[in-house]
Amino acid sequence: MSIVRSASKAVCYTQSAVQLADLRHRIEDRTALTRALQEVLGSDRVFTHPADLIAYEYDGAQVLNAIPDLVVLPGSTEEVVGVVNAARRHRVPLIPRGAGTGLSGGAITPIGGILVSLARMKRILHVDLDNRYAVVQPGVINLDVTKAVEGSGYFYAPDPSSQSACSIGGNVANNSGGVHTLAFGVTTNHVLGLTLVLPDGSVERLGGRGADDPGLDLTGLVVGSEGTLGIVTEVTVRLMRRREGVRTMLGIFGTIAEASQAVADIIASGIAPTALEMIDQLTVEAVEPVVHA
């Protein structure tokens, strides 16, 4: 383990992360690569200027930073295929990025290369309430799926704390959950199918629109793979019926041990609450000034 210190903060890296930083990829012909990407996307969706690139050097943690060599913003599966093929011809690494709210460094480019922002791919393509599913692009904001169907009594269950800002593609990459994980599970429990662009530029459609699609669960393999297997360009998600009534209860405990025991007792009793969340005093004191509680 290595510690890298600056005047303002100390950041802890694994040895492999330090080595990756030392092995930053060198693009042999940046001009030719830029031209190839512009042929696919147009010049307005290929960023090369440092002032544009710096906006993509962090994720939500803002601890590690790495400026990409180029940023591209495709708007369809076909355009993602074009980007992948251009990168492959020029032997340049790709990093897909959702909304950039993650905390694990998955949306930054530690060895440089092309950052593929999926923020433009934000359409809800199809909603089928009879069969309880929706087909969305990866840039769709998590909460927007629920907003699109809540008037009909449905919702999308996985709800990370950043659900008003995080994207479905990022949720798929990280297999995200939220406070309702206890009752409804995490992202992998609500993804029925995917469209995936592989590193060779081919397109695979995995899973289907039913919960028990035949064959190996390749969809489940992709969920949580953090973009290492390909770039997800469409997601078929499960929709759930809203419960008729919701009641919220607040319990105050003297110690974390007492609160933890209460959680264990609730689960052991056979009661299945929709959500359980524990907040300690330090967290309350940190949050109150921000939300003006």
For residue 144, what is the domain's CATH number? 3.30.465.10
92 shares its domain with 151: no
Predicted local distance difference test score (pLDDT) of residue 227: 93
User: Residue 249: inside a domain, yes or no?
Assistant: no
pLDDT tens, 50-85? 999 999 998 988 888 899 999 999 999 999 999 999
User: Residue 248: inside a domain, yes or no?
Assistant: no
User: Residue 177: inside a domain, yes or no?
Assistant: yes
d(CA 179, CA 273): 11
User: Residue 71: inside a domain, yes or no?
Assistant: yes
183 shares its domain with 107: no
Residues with Cβ within 8 Å of 88's Cβ and at least 6 positions away in sequence, in order, are 199, 200, 201
Which residue carries 């969809």 as its tokens? Answer: 219
User: Residue 247: inside a domain, yes or no?
Assistant: no
**Strand 114-117 to strand 70-72: parallel, antiparallel, or no bridges (unpaired)?**
parallel
User: Residue 183: inside a domain, yes or no?
Assistant: yes
Query: Which DSSP state fits 23?
Result: T
Q: Helices (DSSP H) in 24-76: which residue ranges?
A: 30-41, 50-53
Domain that holds residue 199: 124-241
- How many domains would you assign to the chain? 3
Q: How confident is the model at residue 19 (pLDDT cuts 50, 70, 90)?
A: low
Question: Which domain-ending residue is among 117, 151, 174?
Answer: 117
